[in-house]
Amino acid sequence: MTITLVNPDGLPTVDVYRQVSIATGSKLVFLAGQVAWDADGGTVGVGDLAAQVERCYLNVGTALAGGGASFDDVAKLTVYVVDWTPDKMPLLLEGIARAAARLGVTPVPPATLIGVAALDVPEHLVEIEATAVVD
């Protein structure tokens, strides 16, 4: 296993991610930010944060596979959400859970959530980028 996920003593344990990832592989895979596009470039879930989060995670999974990686190899996720407020957390978590169920994974690498004013087009509510390490 190239990635070991850890919650060190002295830091809070968070259900949806681990505080630290330790990477020991030899190949880095950097993903462009994935938005809620289908394979034809159409936006999925316009106005629906949970649907867009789900699609972003599915797209991350597809992009990882294209780089010879999987969610098990992800060392770090960064999630950008338009007009973020804490009351959106249940929708974010719902989208993650739906994607995790469809992918058969538990995506809990260290993650950073950043609220932004806008993304590439007004229809996109979330963008997720990832860095993976593989042998």
pLDDT in tens, 56-95: 999 999 999 999 999 999 999 999 999 999 999 999 999 9
pLDDT band at 2 (very low <50, low <70, confident <90, very high): confident
- In the block, tokens 């993976």 appear at 132
pLDDT at 16: 87
Amino acid at 91: L
CA distance 61 to 74: 10
Residue 113 has pLDDT above 90, yes or no: yes
Average pLDDT, the chain: 95
Amino acid at 24: T
Question: What is the arithmetic mean of pLDDT over 25-54?
Answer: 96
Residue 15 has pLDDT above 90, yes or no: no
CA distance 35 to 103: 17
pLDDT band at 107 (very low <50, low <70, confident <90, very high): confident
